[in-house]
Amino acid sequence: MYNSDTPLRAELPSSRQLLRSTVLAAISALVLLVAVVLPAEYGIDPTGVGRILRMTEMGDIKQQLAAEAAADAAAAQSPAAGAPGMAVVNAAEPAVKAAVAAAPKEPAKAAPKIEWRDEMPFTLAPGEGTEIKLKMVEGAKAQYAWVVEGGEVNFDTHGDAQGKSISYEKGRGVSSDEGVLEAAFTGNHGWYWRNRGKSNVKVILRTRGDYTDIKKMK
């Protein structure tokens, strides 16, 4: 089978030509090493070409990254070496907390004081009850707050008019209550308290809002 022509001896390169090619290749490799590899990999630039081609900067960065990686590896292998630094941080924490605690704080704003329209105190003997009503039109609202001194009471918040009645809320053994009473219809709306304890109690009722009259029923 015919594959190719056999080269003639005269066509083959001589030993001198081979030596020359080898020397040229070695010189080229050396030039590349000095001008490119050393600046780009190690930041070494004996000829100045690497800095002109901005390869020296890349080599410096690589060397810095390698140094940081080596330092991180050394720190990971010797955890005891990091303990003093941690101790310094922990020792500083109390000082920081103390400084924060010593910093002046803004004074807390006092809650606005409610200006009540009416205040009605009364005393209930054991077994005694009493009723206070507000005269209100339908949809009117009255804010209230009452408190018991010396005990607890049973109560019923309700309303009534001619042919109408409603109970808003009831409670047993209560020492205070507050909220907004909204009239379900035009009429009298208020509270009934009874003292089921064994000693006298004092009840103080405070009110304000949309009502035309307030009175103690009994």
Together in a domain, 75 and 140: no
- pTM for the model: 0.50
> Is 4 among the domain residues?
no
Summarize the confidence of residues 34-60 as an average pLDDT. 70
Average pLDDT, the chain: 80
Question: Which range of residues forms the domain containing residue 35?
Answer: 14-81
> Is 102 among the domain residues?
no
Predicted local confidence at residue 18, as pLDDT: 79
CB burial of residue 195 (10 Å; 0-12, 13-18, 19+): buried
Together in a domain, 206 and 147: yes
Together in a domain, 152 and 75: no
Q: Do residues 122 and 193 touch, judged by C-beta distance below 8 A?
A: no
Confidence of residue 155 (pLDDT cuts 50, 70, 90): very high
Number of structural domains (the chain) is 2
Together in a domain, 202 and 151: yes
CATH number at residue 142: 2.60.120.680
> Is 88 among the domain residues?
no
Closest CA to 160 of 184, 126, 127, 196: 184
Give the percent of the chain with pLDDT over 70.
Answer: 65
Q: Mark which of 59, 81, 103 sits at the end of a domain.
A: 81
Summary count for the chain: helices (H), strands (E): 4, 9
Query: Which amino acid is present at 147?
Result: V
